[in-house]
Structure 1
Amino acid sequence: MTIAERIRLYRQQKGFSQAELAEKSQVNSKSLSRYELGSSIPPADVLKNIADALGVSSDALLNDDTVTIKDKELLKKFEIIQEMSEEDQEIIIRFLDLTIRDYKAKKAYS
């Protein structure tokens, strides 16, 4: 996935229009359009502004090792979970592990 695709994906996941992201990141809307089309690459300072406006790290826009969640409601839930205490996160992870184990078992025997 290219930088352009990651910017567009994160923008869409946040529910921002190009104009909204341009305003939040203090980037010219025509420039942002070129960044999303891949016809231009944002300089480092602009990339940081875009990342900050999207609530992600600059690395997330540069590297292709990020996980994308297409379901917006699920993404919102995971964002909330990230804000929780480590203890609460561990409880949720145990619950998810058990649920996934049960799902796989049912799938294997059906």
Structure 2
Amino acid sequence: MKIGKIITELRKSKNWSQNDLASKTDISQVMVGKYERDDAIPSIEVAKKIADAFEVSLDYLVGEGQNASFDKKTLQRIQDLELLEESKRKTLFDLIDTYIRDAKTRQAYS
């Protein structure tokens, strides 16, 4: 997926106008439009501002990398799991595994 489509989808998911995104990132509305149409590619600095405004990682914004499908909250939760004592972490992973197994089973039989 191209960065323009990702920016557009994120902006619409937050019910922001292009002007809203522009004001949150100190980017002109004209440039936001160009980024969304893939007429221009944001610099790293601008992409970081956009990612921060949407609370996603740069990987997520450009749709690449190991963490591309995770927003910042999910990544932080994963990192925070490492802070838990082993028994609590195991319990959480068991619970997560159970939910994932059940979801896959429901999906397979629907």
TM (normalized to structure 2)? 0.65
Residues 9 and 91 (structure 1), Cα distance of their counterparts in 2 relative to 1, 3 Å cut: farther
Q: Report the residue type matching 1:44 in the other structure.
A: I
Q: Once the 2 structures are TM-superposed, how far is the Cα of residue 4 of structure 1 from its aligned partner?
A: 0.7
The alignment yields a C-alpha RMSD, in angstroms, of: 3.4
1:26-65 to 2 correspondences below 5 Å: 26-65=26-65
Unaligned runs of 5+ in 2: none
| Structure 1 residue 29 displacement after superposition | 0.6
Richer in helix (by share): 1
> How many residue pairs were aligned?
102
Q: Percent identity?
A: 32
Distance 1:95 1:17 in 2: 39
- Cα offset, 1:64, TM superposition: 2.9
Matches within 5 A, 1:1-110: 1-65=1-65, 66-67=68-69, 79=73, 82-83=76-77, 85-86=80-81, 87=84, 91-105=91-105
